[in-house]
Amino acid sequence: MPDYILEATDIRKTFGKGDRRVVAVDGISVKIERGKTLGILGESGSGKSTLGRCILRLIEPDAGTIKFDGKTVSGISQSQFRPNRRNMQMIFQNPFSSLNPKMSVGEAVEDPMKIWNIGDGESRRKRVRELLDLVGINPNRSGAFPYEFSGGQQQRINIARALSLDPKFIVCDEAVSALDVSIQTQIVNLLMDLQKQLGLTYLFISHNLGVVEYLSDDVLIMQHGKAVEYAKTEEIFKNPKSEYTRNLIASVPAMPTVEQLMAKKIATSKSGALKKSAVPG
């Protein structure tokens, strides 16, 4: 029996009224096995982010049920839902605007632990150092501010922050899209290494077919809020069932390609840039 950490059934979300009514998510169902990645592809406005936000209950779906880690987490109040929050995190597209410019990166990573009253100052700061090290940021730089880091480093810091509460499930919404291609591959490989080490489950939203093919176990293709296709990654890419998916695969240049990602992974593993890597190069 597959161990599904997340089961969302018939999720629906409409915005606006009358002429401005938009059915953003129109009856989507997904299941994600623990430790696996579901990739979501689709053109701009197809409802990918709305679905991700509904699943995390950052916005309320109009209809549908959500089961997370064996419990039904839809149809309950936000306060009843709150204990689940620490297990579900989100990483966004723009690494700089995701960080508070007035907080040192150490404070940024510590902040969720403070909010959740976890440990004391000393144990939290120890944990911050471990987390920064885990994502490839020198822990001695914990006193520096976000602007002192590159975009890729800032995204590593956002990942450390997302990991600070030991989540089980992370929604990555275009988490690498704003980065240079070579940096994208580093962050994608970091996310995959972290998944192996920590048993994380991902919902990975992206425009980038190459990246989605590389890291997803299953792929959902969305158009106008509906599922055009939902299958194992291999099936989607080798044997796409729908015209829409075939066109998507044909028309969108996959940058970076799976081959580039693989090459980069081997290179970074050899150079030790991903020194915590649990994955042999």
Ligand X SMILES: Nc1ncnc2c1ncn2[C@@H]1O[C@H](COP(=O)(O)OP(=O)(O)OP(=O)(O)O)[C@@H](O)[C@H]1O
With contacts defined by CB under 5 A, name the span among 47-55, 188-196, 207-215, 245-253 that binds Mg ion. Answer: 47-55
- Based on CB atoms, which residue is closest to ligand X, 49 or 186? 49
Extract long-range pairs of 276-281: CB within 8 Å, 24+ residues apart: 276/133, 276/134, 276/136, 276/193, 276/197, 277/193, 278/193, 278/196, 278/197, 279/192, 279/193, 279/196
The least distance separating ligand X from the CB of residue 279, rounded to whole angstroms, comes to: 29
Return all residues near 270 (Cβ < 8 A) that are at least 6 apart.
281
The residue nearest Mg ion at its CB is 49
How far is the C-alpha of 173 from the C-alpha of 16, rounded, in Å?
23
The least distance separating ligand X from the CB of residue 59, rounded to whole angstroms, comes to: 7
The least distance separating Mg ion from the CB of residue 166, rounded to whole angstroms, comes to: 26
Is 154 near Mg ion (CB under 5 A)? no
Question: DSSP code of 119?
Answer: S
- Based on CB atoms, which residue is closest to Mg ion, 92 or 149? 92
Helix (H, G, I), strand (E, B) or coil at 33: strand
With contacts defined by CB under 6 A, name the span among 40-48, 63-71, 95-103, 254-262 that binds ligand X. Answer: 40-48
Return all residues near 242 (Cβ < 8 A) that are at least 6 apart.
221, 228, 229
Is 48 near ligand X (CB under 6 A)? yes
Is 116 near ligand X (CB under 6 A)? no
Task: Select the binding partner of residue 64 from Mg ion, ligand X, none (C-beta < 5 to 8 A, by kind).
Answer: none
Contact between 68 and 169 (Cβ < 8 Å): yes
With contacts defined by CB under 5 A, name the span among 43-51, 58-66, 133-141, 233-241 that binds Mg ion. Answer: 43-51
- Based on CB atoms, which residue is closest to Mg ion, 38 or 108? 38
How far is the C-alpha of 69 from the C-alpha of 281, rounded, in Å?
32
- Which tokens go with 161? 């922050």
Is 24 near ligand X (CB under 6 A)? yes
Out of 11, 30, 47, 49, name the contact with Mg ion by CB under 5 A.
49
Which amino acid would we find at residue 228?
A: V
The least distance separating ligand X from the CB of residue 220, rounded to whole angstroms, comes to: 11
With contacts defined by CB under 6 A, name the span among 41-49, 95-103, 232-240, 253-261 that binds ligand X. Answer: 41-49
Out of 10, 15, 97, 281, name the contact with ligand X by CB under 6 A.
15
Pairing mode, strands 37-42 and 63-68? unpaired
Is 154 near ligand X (CB under 6 A)? no
Tell me the site size for ligand X, rule CB under 6 A: 12
Is 16 near ligand X (CB under 6 A)? yes
How far is the C-alpha of 101 from the C-alpha of 9, rounded, in Å?
38
- HSE at residue 265, side-chain half, CA atoms within 13 A, is 21
Q: Which parts of this chain interact with ligand X (CB under 6 A)? A: 15-16, 22, 24, 42, 44-50
